[in-house]
Structure 1
Amino acid sequence: DNRSLGEYYLNDSGLFVVPDPWKPAIDTERLGNFIANEEQGTFTDYGYILRTSDEWQRVHEGQPVPEQYRVMAYPAPEILREESKVQPEAAAPTKAPQPVTPILLNGQNSAERMKEITDRLETGIQEL
């Protein structure tokens, strides 16, 4: 909300240098409203978003997710721990996996591309 945005800019962003005794005199809701209008920002269910000139950075693309960010059950149930220690007797021979073929889309708009993807998925399912 505007008040939280104003408080962030006033107290945490480092963009405003205001003596501490003066801060209570600032209407943080009006400040947040002014900032949101100036930045053309939008409040969402997930926070505040605005367009910047910063480029998108893909931090973990192609790398394993660091342990502290993984979502998993902890601790693992005893049964699963014991099962993981047992080696399978003789695994049945498996077929070699089919090569992955990238989908190159030719559609001119999102509706055409979505139809193309759906058609490819249906074809793949029928082949199975």
Structure 2
Amino acid sequence: MWLEPAFVLALIALLMGMVALFVAWSMWRQSQRKLEAMSRLMRELTRTRDSYRKQIEELQAANIGMGNKVSELYRQHDKLTEQQQELSLKDPQGKLYSRATRMVQLGADIDEIMAECEMPRAEAELLIALHRK
């Protein structure tokens, strides 16, 4: 009875079915582990992406603030340049001092400065003393 061919075939079929079931279960378990690992990786990537997005938003806000600051500085610069031009037109004496200063820097002597800029000797000496140091 134990060795009857039908019984042996049934036993072999049962064993093969169990082996197939075990192999399928092992493959399913391995797939589950891979899926869990990929899920962890996706969560980490999502956190990293969110962190980068936040950093980019902060940089954009800082960039906008910096752009506004630069624009304000340009406006101030233009205003100061305009005021400086107005002052130079109103103060012809300032032109003489600027010219005298340039002459000192170029190495002119006191007599040249006095003659060219119509400046008293004391002022010319003072300019030379200030700008030749």
TM-score between both structures, scaled by the size of structure 1: 0.20
**Structure label with greater radius of gyration:** 2
The structure with the greater share of residues assigned to helix is: 2
The structure with the greater share of residues assigned to strand is: 1
Of the two structures, which has the highest relative contact order with CA contacts closer than 8 Å and spacing of 6 or more? 1
